[in-house]
């Protein structure tokens, strides 16, 4: 396996060398065979030896990256990889370069008062969610492996410690640019801009105004990602700018959840008292975050140029969202059909129905019948009948009937529901990874209604909104 260190070599002033600290009884629990095959990486004991054996190829040049971030709207310059380490980069046979990032390997200069560790609960949640999003075709970082230990770690109570390695094109966050701009390190900011352009946005580098092209590309990628979050009901939970990837991929999973009974302003992070990161606020927050990032471009672009870049966010988000959603319900992508979508969402919310299951049922409903069996789910049947009468005409007259991509392929049966995750975590904490493995197998085929996915389709029994902790 060949590991490169382009980031650490090009930007040494932005990193600190750190030797990863292992945990007692560390053992490889899972590895992602798809990724190890793509990047020709060692597996099993060979991977563990490479990370932790003294002089191991992976560990020896590990670095923690320095960045800052806006947390819940407040600028915090004191952030950085507090428990994550960039081991280096690997390249696949197509020349695609990805970071290997080890999470939970002990303290770094940016740990502040915290322990630099990760618990099994949060690593399992990240592993399963990132695989789930990947298979829903939502851009995301991926997990390469999960390692368990016998070491217990203090959070709200004692929990088993674990580590994971995740992969992403890079770990450059909005907060990287913000930090070097706000701390007036103009030379480093310039190097970071050039590094990003040369390594990850080569199409922008060739542009007459590379920095403008870069900010535009980040805005567009972010808009497309958020449109997919909104389409599938994903709530990130902590959209601080240090958790926003410049690649427009879902990144730094914390107290995330998928909406179940539909509530447009659902909040799952119990530290988010004001609902800043509520489901329906995610698009606005993404734009707020892009504004924060754009400040770092003020030495390169005029105010008007920055405005032009950011102005692309809203129309891109709206058109992507409309395209995805109208496709999901099987009607033409045009503005005339938008009210029909909004009425459907309002019906789901008013009738307290499960978001994912309702879309799936609509996908498999027969539009040729005048009275759909779906109506039984709705308390307000009259309102549903009224909507159905209008909707079925639109669906029957769809011009572009893409039969090759049937509606079931756009409407999952499985999302990683919190109650299945909790059950899987509790069993894994007792040493039984069976439920977690079964859930993992299901989220990897979210559109198939089969023996494997059947056990993971149901909403939580109590109609309560789960509240998740940030402490991970």
Does 115 help bind ligand AMP (rule: CB under 6 A)? Answer: yes
Residues 349-408 that bind ligand AMP (CB under 6 A): none
Least Cα distance to 67 among 52, 82, 57 occurs for 82
By CB under 6 A, name the one of 19, 27, 49, 114 that touches ligand AMP: 114
Q: Which residues contact 455 (CB under 8 A, 6 or more apart)?
A: 438, 442
Q: How far is the CB of 175 from ligand AMP (least distance, A)?
A: 9
Catalytic hit among 242, 252, 272, 354 = 242
Helices (H) and strands (E) in the chain, counts: 16, 12
Number of residues that bind Mg ion (CB under 5 A): 2
Structure tokens at 87: 């081991």
Q: Which of 47, 102, 128, 238 binds ligand AMP (CB under 6 A)?
A: 238
Q: Out of Mg ion, ligand AMP, none, which partner does residue 31 contact, by CB within 5 to 8 A per kind?
A: none
Angle at 332 between CA 392 and CA 341, to 5 degrees: 65
- Give me the least distance between CB of 100 and Mg ion, in Å please: 17
Considering the rule CB under 6 A, would residue 79 count as an interface residue with ligand AMP?
Answer: yes
3-state secondary structure of 68: coil
Least separation in angstroms between residue 67's CB and ligand AMP is 8
What is the 3-state secondary structure of 366-394? CCCCCCCHHHHHCCCHHHHHHHHHHHHHH
Q: Which of 230, 243, 327, 377 is close enough to bind Mg ion by CB under 5 A?
A: 243
Q: Closest separation between CB of residue 81 and ligand AMP, Å? A: 5
For the residues of 154-205, what is the DSSP string, one character each?
Answer: ESSSEEEEEEEEEEES---BHHHHHHHHHTT-HHHHHHHHHHHHHHH-HHHH
| 242 given a catalytic annotation | yes
Among 243, 316, 320, 453, binds ligand AMP (CB under 6 A): 243
Q: d(Cα 424, Cα 226) in Å, to the nearest integer? A: 28
CB of 27 or CB of 114, closer to ligand AMP = 114
Stretch that binds Mg ion, among 251-259, 322-330, 335-343, 446-454 (CB under 5 A): 251-259
Closest approach, Cβ 174 to Mg ion, in A, equals: 11
Which of the ranges 97-105, 243-251, 373-381, 455-463 carries the binding residues for Mg ion, by CB under 5 A? 243-251
- Which of 18, 32, 81, 162 is close enough to bind ligand AMP by CB under 6 A? 81
Helices 418-429 and 434-443, axial angle in degrees (round to 10)? 150
Query: Cβ of residue 296: shortest distance to Mg ion, in angstroms?
Result: 18
Q: Which residue stretch of 9-17, 112-120, 366-374, 456-464 sits at the interface with ligand AMP (rule: CB under 6 A)? A: 112-120
How far lies 1's CA from each of 46, 57, 145, in Å?
10, 9, 16
Q: How far is CA 373 from CA 32, 312, 348, in A?
A: 41, 42, 15
Q: Which does 262 bind (CB under 5 to 8 A by kind): ligand AMP, Mg ion, none?
A: none
DSSP state at residue 137: T
**What minimum distance in Å lies between the beta carbon of 134 and Mg ion?**
19
Rounded distance between C-alpha atoms, residue 85 and residue 271, angstroms: 26
List CB contacts of 130: < 8 A, sequence separation 6 or more: 140, 141, 142, 143, 166, 250, 253
> Where does this chain touch Mg ion (CB under 5 A) — which range of 152-160, 252-260, 309-317, 454-462?
252-260
Interface residue with ligand AMP, options 83, 142, 176, 281 (CB under 6 A): 83
d(CA 288, CA 142) in angstroms, rounded, equals: 26
61 C-beta neighbours (distance < 10 Å), count? 16
What minimum distance in Å lies between the beta carbon of 335 and Mg ion?
A: 38
Strand partners, 20: none
Q: Does 237 bind ligand AMP (CB under 6 A)?
A: no
**Which position's Cβ is nearest ligand AMP?**
82
Q: Name the segment binding Mg ion (CB under 5 A); options: 1-9, 235-243, 322-330, 361-369.
A: 235-243
C-alpha torsion angle, residues 332, 335, 339, 341 (rounded to 10)? 40
Q: According to CB under 6 A, which residues from 38 to 77 bind ligand AMP?
A: none
Q: Which does 204 bind (CB under 5 to 8 A by kind): Mg ion, ligand AMP, none?
A: none
Residue 372 interacts with Mg ion (CB under 5 A): yes or no: no
Query: Coil, strand, or helix at residue 298?
Result: coil
Which one of 252, 260, 272, 305 is in contact with Mg ion (CB under 5 A)? Answer: 252
Residue 252 engages ligand AMP in binding (rule: CB under 6 A): yes
Question: Which residue in 116, 161, 169, 412 binds ligand AMP (CB under 6 A)?
Answer: 116
Q: Are 309 and 294 in contact (CB under 8 A)?
A: yes
CB 89 within 8 A of CB 6: yes
Q: Which residues are catalytic?
A: 242
Residues found near ligand AMP in the complex (CB under 6 A): 79-83, 110-111, 114-117, 238, 242-243, 252, 254
């Amino acid at each position: 396996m060949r590991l490169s260190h382009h980031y650490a070599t090009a930007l040494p002033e932005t990193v600190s060398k750190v030797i990863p600290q292992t945990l007692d009884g560390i053992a490889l629990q899972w590895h992602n065979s798809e990724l190890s095959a793509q990047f020709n990486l060692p597996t099993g004991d060979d991977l563990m030896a490479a990370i932790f054996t003294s002089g191991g190829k992976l560990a020896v040049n590990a670095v923690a990256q320095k960045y800052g971030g806006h947390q819940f709207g407040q600028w915090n310059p004191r952030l950085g990889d507090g428990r994550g380490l960039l081991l280096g980069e690997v390249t696949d046979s197509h020349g695609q370069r990805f970071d290997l990032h080890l999470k939970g390997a002990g303290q770094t200069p940016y740990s502040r008062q915290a322990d630099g560790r990760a618990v099994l609960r949060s690593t399992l949640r990240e592993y399963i969610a990132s695989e789930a999003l990947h298979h829903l075709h939502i851009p995301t970082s991926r997990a390469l492996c999960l390692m368990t230990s016998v070491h217990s770690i203090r959070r709200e109570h004692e929990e088993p410690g674990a580590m994971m390695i995740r992969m992403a094109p890079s770990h450059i966050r909005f907060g990287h640019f913000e930090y070097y701009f706000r701390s007036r390190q103009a030379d480093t900011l310039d190097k970071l801009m050039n590094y990003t352009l040369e390594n990850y946005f080569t199409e922008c580098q060739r542009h007459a105004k590379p920095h403008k092209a870069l900010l535009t590309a980040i805005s567009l990628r972010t808009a497309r990602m958020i449109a997919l979050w909104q389409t599938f009901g994903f709530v990130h939970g902590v959209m601080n700018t240090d958790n926003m990837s410049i690649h427009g991929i879902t990144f730094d999973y914390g107290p995330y959840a998928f909406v179940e009974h539909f509530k447009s302003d659902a909040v799952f992070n119990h530290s988010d008292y004001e609902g800043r990161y509520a489901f329906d606020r995610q698009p606005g927050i993404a734009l707020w975050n892009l504004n924060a990032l754009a400040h770092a471009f003020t030495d390169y672009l005029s105010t008007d140029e920055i405005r032009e870049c950011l102005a692309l966010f809203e129309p891109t988000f709206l058109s992507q969202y409309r395209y995805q959603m109208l496709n999901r319900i099987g009607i033409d992508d045009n503005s005339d059909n938008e009210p029909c979508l909004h009425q459907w969402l309002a019906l789901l919310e008013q009738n307290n129905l499960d978001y994912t299951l309702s879309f799936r049922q609509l996908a498999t409903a027969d539009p040729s019948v005048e009275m759909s069996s779906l109506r039984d789910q709705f308390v307000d049947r009259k309102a549903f009948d009224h909507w159905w009468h209008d909707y079925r005409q639109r669906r029957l007259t769809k011009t572009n009937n893409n039969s090759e991509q049937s509606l079931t392929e756009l409407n999952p049966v499985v999302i990683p529901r919190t109650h299945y995750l909790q059950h899987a975590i509790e069993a894994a904490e007792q040493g039984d990874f069976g439920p977690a493995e079964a859930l993992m197998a299901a989220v990897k085929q979210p559109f198939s209604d089969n023996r494997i996915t059947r056990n993971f389709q149901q909403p939580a029994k109590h109609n309560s909104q789960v509240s998740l902790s940030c402490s991970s």
